[in-house]
Amino acid sequence: MVILIVYSFNSSRLVTVWAGFSTKWYVELIHNEALLKAVGLSLSIAAGAASLAIILGTLAAFAVIRFRRFRGSNLFSFMTTAPLVMPDVITGLALLLLFVGMGQAIGWPKERGAMTIWMAHATFCTAYVTVVISARLRELDKSIEEAALDLGANPLKVFFIITLPMIAPALVSGWLLAFTLSLDDVVIANFVTGPGAMTLPKLVFSKVRLGVDPQVNALATIILLIVGIIGFISWLWMRRAEKRHLREIRMR
């Protein structure tokens, strides 16, 4: 990462040859519409996929942990964790066949693009989110929820007032993990995308064949800076939440 950051200030177009300090690639990056469009598309897809994965993953984790005995529970648990061990090539091919079959059966989606990428990323990201939130739910003290139920709160209110705040650190971790996985994916996106949707990983991968453009180094440096700041803030927030949780346990 340090080498990547250093060579983003290289004046030479050859990324392996140092020719002096320069910020011209950052200036050219601002005027590169294709690259900026790919960044915007990737960020919007990653944010949307992570948000949907958080909702589906929370529901799936709650069903697996809190309702362990129901018909088809083993099959449901297997289906939620299958993308974790499934090769990306198989997942991408399966999703491609699904979208083609849906298009022929119900006429939607008519074409593959940003929407199909978003659906595909949300599908495999849900598995990772489910694992993260399930781990948090397993160690959760159910006595607080039971006390709220005994005081007359309905299960839905208990979930939003008691359970959701207690698993908030896991929700943040799951969202960041899903966002990163979606932003990084290139294999599944190649299967389910169309000619009009070019994500950042696909664009970078296509440029590698002809030599990495120094503008990619500049863009990667900016992304590293933004991700580092967000990760540090999230770490501080989760650390304080964990300390507060430990203090509450000791007080009991």
* Model pLDDT for residues 184-214, shown as the tens digit of each residue: 899 999 999 987 789 988 888 887 776 777 8
Residue 241 vs residue 27, higher pLDDT? 27
Q: What is the pLDDT of residues 25-52, one digit of tens each?
A: 999 888 888 888 999 999 999 999 999 9
Q: CA–CA separation, 225 vs 247, rounded Å? A: 33
Predicted confidence band at 223 (pLDDT cuts at 50, 70, 90)? confident
pLDDT for residue 129: 96
| Section 91-97 average pLDDT | 94
Which of 190, 84, 196, 200 is CA-nearest to residue 134?
Answer: 84
Give the largest Cα separation in the chain, rounded. 72
Percent of the chain exceeding pLDDT 70 equals: 98
What is the pLDDT, as a whole number, of residue 252? 62
What SS3 class is residue 222?
helix
pLDDT band at residue 99, thresholds of 50, 70 and 90? very high
Range list for CATH 1.10.3720.10 in the chain: 38-212
What angle is formed at CA 148 by the lines to CA 143 and CA 149, rounded to 5 degrees? Answer: 95
Return the SS3 of 178. Answer: helix
CA angle 225, 198, 202 (to 5 degrees): 65
CATH topology of domain 38-212: MetI-like fold (1.10.3720)
Per-residue pLDDT tens for 49-77? 999 999 999 999 999 888 877 888 888 88
What pTM value is reported for the model? 0.85
- Beta carbons of 19 and 12 less than 8 angstroms apart: yes
